[in-house]
A = this chain, B = another copy of it.
């Protein structure tokens, strides 16, 4: 490995001078010296060791991101946003995944902080409030995204989940549905799940519809739970005429469940899903979903974090809320007169 000393020796100058030109502090340096150094740098193909720089400067120029589950394709889009914003600002990116396990999340945070990453973007499990509080106390910069913490007021970028749910339920009601089921994974401390349920309820209430617990299905996070739940709401004596699925995987299972029962979508039951992808229009039937601006969320979260890191001082925490969008295709229609 070639070091700054090698360059200094080759150019016949001190390493301070080399450091100077590398850092752009050569306003008052003789042209000759500058050129000597630049040539040596090029000849030796030298490039400064960032680890040493980091130790000295107390900044690694890298940020960390902690995902709840890296294998969820939803992150592909947001990672692109994060990545491009990082590159634009000269930051590196470390990624890790908690797999929804709070203790793994804790481990991730500790490791990342040890590695001295300058800041964190986290899609939290919602269970490490104490740790996060400690981070704010020691002024370690981080932002939440996709999920926010009710227990902890801090910078966050999310999409408005209450609104997403509310708009879809309203859409369904406007179509004439009054038995609308909702499927979700256990809410636990996860704000999107809580909020989507909340939006569902708000829409119902505002239309003076009763809230029927038998239409609210919490599915455990195992394969097939959504299929079962679908069958259940479809077998009710007053069965659901529309199903609102709040998760990509659940979307698929609702479709499967309906099919297994011999229900046609949308003729026999309407379904409205969550999250949009290029393949959604090609499903059978083309599915209505609420689309989230994934790329933008990644980009905004990164920008917010970088801004926070730069400004040093603690500012009033900022919550950026993005808008979801209803993608209307052909998986919903007015209910047929109930049998």
Chain A residues packing against B (C-beta within 8 Å):
47-52, 54-55, 60, 62, 70-73, 75-77, 79-80, 83, 87, 92-97, 110-116, 249, 252, 255-256, 277-279, 282-285, 295
Contacts and interface: CB of A to CB of B under 8 A. Distances in A.
A252 B92 contact: no
Given A62-B94, A93-B96, 7 more contacts: A50-B114, A50-B115, A83-B95, A92-B96, A252-B279, A256-B282, A283-B284
Contacts of A116: 49-51
9 contacts: A49-B55, A51-B51, A73-B277, A75-B76, A94-B94, A249-B278, A256-B282, A279-B283, A284-B284
Copies in the complex: 2
A114 B49 contact: yes
Nearest to A294: B71
Given A279-B279, A284-B285, A79 B70 contact: yes
Contacts of A49: 55, 114, 116
A83 B75 CA distance: 14
Given A60-B51, A80-B71, A252 B96 contact: no
A146 to B, nearest CB: 15
Contacts of A110: 47
